[in-house]
Amino acid sequence: MSEFNFDVVVIGSGPSGESAAISCAKNGMRTALIETRPQVGGNCAHKGTIPSKSLRHVVKQIIRFKNEALFRVVGDHRRLTFPQVLEAASRVIPKQVEMHSANLNRNRIQLYVGEAYFKDQNTVEVTMADGAKETMTARTVVIATGSRPYRPADVDFNHPRVYDSDTILEMAHTPLSLIIYGAGVIGCEYASIFAGLGIKVDLLNSRERLLSFLDDEISDALSYHLREGGVMVRHNEEYESVKADASGVTITLKSGKRLRADALLWCNGRTGNTDQLNLDSIGLSADHRGQLAVDENYRTEIEDIYAVGDVIGWPSLASASFDQGRGVAKVICGQDTEVFAKDVPTGIYTLPEISSLGKTERELTSQKVPYEVGRAFFKHVARGQISGEDVGMLKILFHVDTLEILGIHCFGAEASEIIHIGQAIMKQQGEANNINYFVSTTFNYPTMAEAYRQAAFNGLNRVKRMTH
């Protein structure tokens, strides 16, 4: 008889928690999963990735309908309300919940619904919705509790015109104008969504440029297209005060500017969900952002307590969280130690979409790497012309001597899919990672993938390294 009820207890059912639990169970571990929400899927399925991407999809369809004269012959040009758009977008959530529940069931994972906190290193207590408590013991605990929007104390989030990225999914009216404070990935994606609905958007960025981790050319393209879509982007701005009243919200900026809109969407930062875990009881503490420090095996400072997903900070992506969950399970099951998720691509679902992998031009320049650039514009790609989605560019950065691909940057329709073709080549070892792949391989025609061939020709012609 084991001294514990479970081998592993996982707290949180987002992508990192679910994949950790399933991988542990598949390796024969007696596994429990605890989730506060009555439904599994995490913030990813209920508040973050899935609802925002689904909203964006609906908005993209509306834009398409508005801009395509052919559709206007068959339907009138009606104005949709935000609640109608939300309703259409939210249909995907039950499908996600059903899929995740089935995955957990199939793998015989014991699910507890309630809020978990530590009693000691091997004991976790769960407070159920009705106040009842359940206690369980385990050799190993995985903290996968995710994150939530950061709410500064001087902004009244109880006011019905002030939203964050969770509560915006409950907005019951359609504002004519919206201020978005915070121009990180969430702020930029929501700016695209609301501008796409014809709402006047002010996007306030505390930094000098949008998404400064991107290649400059891509970040410039995003600024240009957001502005063209009707978003007023303002850089280097910080708020002084936020005042909401019955008819709108006024934000006063440290620069002296005063902006007013029908509603405010706050997108400035997130906090790790660690405050309810009673970490003191096990001698663990989170940093000022509520995040936990881990080593390259996702171990916290406390033996047999691991953490994965948003609660450990970078990269805070659903994509990486899946891998982190599987990675930590390998460590727990003693299978592998090379598990840290790195070389994570970015996939940003603005309009236009952005995706990138590897080094930017700025990084290569500062590292004094002799590189060249190959570009293809979607307006010159037959498939882009046919589909009418001809805004965009694919850019390949490669070493002038070895022809090794060093970075791929893409914006435009389906950029987040297109990037994975290049990723497969970049992942090859040694000389197999070579830009020549794209000129020595036959691509289906017409496809967006053909942009790789065009970009490779463009780059190789530039360094005269092609045998014609």
Ligand X SMILES: Cc1cc2nc3c(=O)[nH]c(=O)nc-3n(C[C@H](O)[C@H](O)[C@H](O)COP(=O)(O)OP(=O)(O)OC[C@H]3O[C@@H](n4cnc5c(N)ncnc54)[C@H](O)[C@@H]3O)c2cc1C
Ligand Y SMILES: NC(=O)c1ccc[n+]([C@@H]2O[C@H](COP(=O)([O-])OP(=O)(O)OC[C@H]3O[C@@H](n4cnc5c(N)ncnc54)[C@H](O)[C@@H]3O)[C@@H](O)[C@H]2O)c1
Binding site for ligand Y (CB under 6 A): 182-187, 189, 205-207, 267-270, 316-317, 347-349
The entry of ligand X, ligand Y, none near residue 207 (CB within 5 to 8 angstroms by kind) is ligand Y
Q: Figure out which of the listed residues 8, 9, 10, 17 binds ligand X, where binding follows CB under 6 A.
A: 17
Per-residue three-class SS string for 35-65: ECCCCCCHHHHHCCHHHHHHHHHHHHHHHHH
The reply, when asked if residue 302 is annotated as ligand binding, is: no
The reply, when asked if residue 310 is annotated as ligand binding, is: yes
Q: Figure out which of the listed residues 144, 211, 279, 425 binds ligand X, where binding follows CB under 6 A.
A: 144
The reply, when asked if residue 145 is annotated as ligand binding, is: yes
Interface map 98-117 toward ligand X (x if CB under 6 A): -----------------xx-
In the complex, what is the shortest distance from the CB of residue 121 to ligand Y, in angstroms, rounded to a whole number?
30
The reply, when asked if residue 140 is annotated as ligand binding, is: no
Element (H, E) at 272: strand 270-272
The reply, when asked if residue 183 is annotated as ligand binding, is: yes
The reply, when asked if residue 188 is annotated as ligand binding, is: yes
In the complex, what is the shortest distance from the CB of residue 431 to ligand X, in angstroms, rounded to a whole number?
32
| Closest listed residue to residue 86, CA positions, set 54, 115, 114, 131 | 54
Distance CA 40, CA 96 (A): 9
The entry of ligand Y, ligand X, none near residue 136 (CB within 5 to 8 angstroms by kind) is none
Q: Figure out which of the listed residues 4, 5, 27, 37 binds ligand X, where binding follows CB under 6 A.
A: 37
Cα distances (Å, whole numbers) of residue 222 to 373, 389, 394, 397: 19, 16, 14, 19
124: three-class secondary structure by DSSP: strand
The region of 15-23, 292-300, 333-341, 369-377 touching ligand X under the rule CB under 6 A is 15-23
Per the DSSP assignment, residues forming a β-bridge with 299 are 306
Cα 398 from chain centroid?
27
Interface map 289-328 toward ligand X (x if CB under 6 A): --------------------xxx----xxxx-x-------
Binding flag, residue 374, ligand X (CB under 6 A):
no
The reply, when asked if residue 186 is annotated as ligand binding, is: yes
Residue 53 burial class via C-beta count within 10 angstroms: exposed 0-12, middle 13-18, buried 19 and up: middle
Do 85 and 197 contact (CB within 8 A), yes or no? yes
The entry of ligand X, ligand Y, none near residue 184 (CB within 5 to 8 angstroms by kind) is ligand Y
Alpha helices in 197-317 (DSSP H): 216-228
The reply, when asked if residue 269 is annotated as ligand binding, is: yes
Residue 280 burial class via C-beta count within 10 angstroms: exposed 0-12, middle 13-18, buried 19 and up: exposed
The region of 139-147, 234-242, 390-398, 428-436 touching ligand X under the rule CB under 6 A is 139-147
Binding flag, residue 200, ligand X (CB under 6 A):
no
Position with the least CB separation from ligand X: 146
| Closest listed residue to residue 347, CA positions, set 53, 19, 64, 44 | 53
Cα 412 from chain centroid?
17
Do 233 and 227 contact (CB within 8 A), yes or no? yes
Binding residues (CB under 6 A) for ligand X: these are 11-17, 34-37, 42-44, 48-49, 52-53, 115-116, 144-147, 165, 186, 273, 276-277, 309-311, 316-319, 321, 347, 349
The annotation places the binding site for NAD(+) at 182-189, 269
The annotation places the binding site for FAD at 53, 145-147, 310
